[in-house]
Amino acid sequence: MAVSFNIEEGQALPPELQADLERLAEAALLWHSLPSEAEVSLMICADKTIHHLNRQWRSVDSPTDVLSFPLLDDGGVSVEGELLLGDVVISVERAASQAVNFGHSLKRELLYLFIHGILHLLGYDHNNDAERIEMREMEELLLAVVGVERRGL
């Protein structure tokens, strides 16, 4: 899977974290029987940027941790032989704050937010208890692929 990284000025992702993000995305595709040529765009930004996007697209006037913008309701759009799933946007500031609050590493929080966003692109949601449980189980299963589990982090 190709992850197209868009890292806002002033933000950074270490190469080893980028590699883990790519492995995580590939695992999600494999698990959901999607072609390995699929692509997702990941934007890493500050609270100000995600606040603007949240207000513009969701009419919520505050920053958030992650936003997902699926390209189509049926799981993606094909362009020139590639399957484009959509965009995931993550606020590093929000992720860092949540990592402290939850008592785990920033790496784990960024990986979690990314897989959470990808699962939204794949049609998962958490509007009720059953959906929330299904999504959380899939998040944890996929995070284990990159060695980032809830236990001990």
Residue type, 24: L
Residue pLDDT, tens place only, 20-71: 999 999 999 999 888 877 889 999 999 999 999 999 999 999 999 999 999 8
- CATH number, residue 24: 3.40.390.30
**pTM exceeds 0.85 for this model:** yes
State CA 100 to chain mean position distance.
Answer: 19
What's the DSSP call for residue 127? Answer: S
150 lies in some domain: no
153 lies in some domain: no
Under a CB-based contact definition with an 8 Å cutoff, are residues 90 and 43 in contact? Answer: yes
d(CA 59, CA 146): 34
151 lies in some domain: no
152 lies in some domain: no
Residue pLDDT, tens place only, 68-96: 999 865 555 555 556 789 999 999 999 99
Domain region containing 17 = 2-145
How many domains would you assign to the chain? 1
For 38-59, b/e burial (b = at least 16 CB within 10 A) is bbbbbbbbbbebbbebbeeeee
8 lies in some domain: yes
